[in-house]
């Protein structure tokens, strides 16, 4: 489990179309700038958010994202959460493997996002949906 | 804006991506560019991504596809202007863009394309350019 307490408002963005992936990126960037992440960390965070938002859209059939500034008592961070009510992921090991894709992409979405973020949790239930939560901490 | 402009620049096509790319816009660019390569007969394409603050796997794949399609149509593609943070992120994402030529800016990209086709008669784009093909 990710240990993080809220330190800012929850901001939510529905993900139902391509343009919402762009909106998620913009929302995450806004919070990253407010949290004063370094430029490289902002870029990694926004890129990971873009991958996860597209997963929500393409694999989950749409859903929503929540973005929030959080703290672990020592450092600030940004938590991004993506939820869908899609088919779920039957084989998690494969879903985290580079190059494995069911959506016609490069299969880098989940594995790449995990590398770009500091922490990443995924819970999924076949037939019910998937929730991905990830945090990027300030240095 | 619903199209990324594709501009003739001497004997190459210049694509300067100035907007946060939606997926559909990226797909349309691939098609527009392929048609324009055939219509103009150019042998080089420069894609300027200076304005892009991220390149995710979708856009990375688009760049690779454009480079492959262009090559089939006898044109080389050079991606220019990648920001340092974008380069770091792309490699960590697992997308090192192998097979895509890159240059730091448009001028260096033009030079790269010219050197790739030294036998072709090239219009001088820089009056002070004295480097002749060896």
- A30: distance to nearest CA of chain B, Å? 13
B94/A43 touch (CB, cutoff 8 Å), yes or no: no
Residue from the list B22, B56, B95 with its beta carbon closest to the beta carbon of A19? B22
pTM of the model: 0.88
Residue whose C-alpha is closest to residue A4's, from A66, A86, A47: A66
Q: Which of residues 77-106 of B touch A (CB under 8 A)?
A: 83-86, 88-89, 92-95
For chain B, domains (ranges, CATH) are 6-117 (3.30.750.24)
Whether B19 and B4 have beta carbons less than 8 Å apart is answered as yes
**Smallest CA–CA distance from B26 into chain A, residue:** A18
Which residues of B fall within a CB distance of 8 Å from A115? 92-94
Q: What is the pLDDT of residues B2-31, one digit of tens each?
A: 789 999 998 999 999 988 888 888 889 999
Whether A70 contacts A78, CB under 8 Å: yes
- Angle (CA) A59-B4-B46 rounded to 5° is 105
pLDDT reported for residue B19: 86
**pLDDT at residue B47, as a whole number:** 97
Q: Cβ B93–A47 below 8 Å, yes or no? A: yes
Q: Does residue A85 have a pLDDT over 70?
A: yes
Domains of chain A, each with CATH number or no CATH: 5-137 (3.30.565.10)
Tens digits of per-residue pLDDT, A39-65? 999 999 999 999 999 999 999 999 999
Cβ neighbours of B64 in A, within 8 Å: none
Cβ <8 Å between A112 and B93 = yes
pLDDT, tens digit (0-9, with 9 covering 90-100), for A9-41: 999 999 999 899 999 999 999 999 999 999 999
Name the minimum distance, in Å, from the CA of A61 to any CA of chain B.
16
Chain A environment of B2 (Cβ under 8 Å): none
- B120 contact A CB<8A: no
* DSSP category for residue B127: T
Task: Measure in Å the smallest separation between the Cα of B37 and chain A Cα atoms.
Answer: 26
Q: Which residues of A touch B24 (CB under 8 A)?
A: 18
Give the Å distances, CA to CA, from A81 to A68, A78, A87, A128: 9, 10, 18, 17
Name the residue facing B86 among A26, A29, A43 (closest C-beta). Answer: A43
The reported pLDDT for the residue numbered B97 is 85
Q: Which pLDDT tens digit goes with each residue over A89-131?
A: 888 888 888 776 665 555 568 899 999 999 999 999 999 999 9
Partner residue opposite A105 with nearest CB, options B24, B57, B92: B57
In terms of Cα–Cα distance, which of B26, B14, B61, B30 is closest to A105?
B61
**Which residue of A lies nearest to B27 if distances are taken between CA atoms?**
A18
- Yes or no: say if B3 and B24 are a contact pair by the CB < 8 Å rule: no
List of long-range contacts for A8-13, beta carbons under 8 Å, 24+ apart:
A8/A34, A8/A68, A8/A69, A8/A70, A9/A68, A10/A66, A10/A67, A10/A68, A11/A66, A11/A67, A11/A68, A12/A64, A12/A65, A12/A66, A12/A67, A13/A64, A13/A65, A13/A66, A13/A67
* Ranges of residues in chain B whose predicted pLDDT is under 70: 1, 119-134
At B108 the pLDDT is: 97
- Min Cα distance A63 → chain B (Å) is 18
């Amino acid at each position: 489990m990710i240990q993080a307490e809220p330190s800012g408002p929850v901001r939510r963005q529905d993900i139902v179309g391509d343009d919402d992936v762009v909106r998620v990126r913009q929302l995450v960037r806004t919070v990253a700038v407010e949290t004063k992440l370094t430029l490289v960390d902002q870029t990694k965070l926004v890129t990971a958010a873009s991958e996860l938002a597209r997963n929500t859209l393409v694999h989950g059939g749409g859903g929503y994202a929540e973005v929030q500034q959080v703290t672990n008592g020592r450092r600030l961070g940004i938590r991004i959460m993506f939820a869908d009510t899609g088919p779920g992921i039957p084989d998690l090991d494969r879903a985290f493997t580079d190059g494995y894709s069911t959506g016609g992409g490069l299969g880098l979405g989940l594995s790449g996002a995990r590398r770009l973020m500091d922490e990443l949790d995924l819970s999924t239930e076949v037939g019910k949906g998937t929730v991905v939560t990830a945090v990027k901490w300030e240095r | 804006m619903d199209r990324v402009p594709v501009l003739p620049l001497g004997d190459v096509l210049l694509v300067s991506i100035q907007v946060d790319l939606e997926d559909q816009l990226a797909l349309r660019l691939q098609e527009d560019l392929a048609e324009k390569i055939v219509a103009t007969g150019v042998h080089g394409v420069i894609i300027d991504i200076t304005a892009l603050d991220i390149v995710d796997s979708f856009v990375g794949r688009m760049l690779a596809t454009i480079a492959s399609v262009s090559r089939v149509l006898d044109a080389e593609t050079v991606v220019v202007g990648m920001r340092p943070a974008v380069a770091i992120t792309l490699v960590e994402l697992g997308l090192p863009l192998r097979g895509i030529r890159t240059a730091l800016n448009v001028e260096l990209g033009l030079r790269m394309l010219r050197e790739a086709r030294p036998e072709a008669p090239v219009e001088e784009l820089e009056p002070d350019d004295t480097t002749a093909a060896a």
